[in-house]
Amino acid sequence: MRKTIVWGSLVLFCLAMPLSAIAQKVGGGDMTFKPKGASDVTFSHEVHVKTKGLKCTGCHYQVFQMTQGSYKMDMSKLTKGDFCGKCHNGQKSFDVKDTKNCAKCHK
């Protein structure tokens, strides 16, 4: 009887492991970009997906591939409305061109 319970919980434990590992991270998790000449930019999947309710397909694959560093981003592309600038344009979200907003991304 006791033995069954012990094995039972062991099996449950093993089953729960991969599930909890997936639950911890939303999409690609937090990703840090390290541009030359500016401080680091951290992109949070959790903020964009969970808090702001954006769908994976809103960004993948129209704006971004699913691999960090799949595109070379820079500010001139962002201010023209590519990559982060597709939304961070003062309409869908805060504007990359406004100097008040630099520090929202560059920390």
Measured from the CB atom, the residue of 7 and 46 that comes closer to ligand HEC is 46
CA gap 75, 58 in Å, rounded: 21
Residue 9 found at the interface with ligand HEC (CB under 6 A):
no
What the block records as the tokens of 55 is: 């769908």
Instruction: Tell me the DSSP string of 64-89.
Output: B-SSTTSS---HHHHHTT-GGGGT-S
Residue 82 found at the interface with ligand HEC (CB under 6 A):
no
> Which residues within the stretch 32-61 sit at the binding site for ligand HEC (CB under 6 A)?
33, 35-38, 41, 43, 45, 47-49, 52, 54, 56, 58-60
CA gap 49, 57 in Å, rounded: 11
C-beta separation of 68 from 31 below 8 A: yes
Contacts to ligand HEC by CB under 6 A? 26-28, 31, 33, 35-38, 41, 43, 45, 47-49, 52, 54, 56, 58-60, 63-71, 73-76, 78, 83-84, 86-88, 92-94, 96-97, 99, 101-102, 104-106
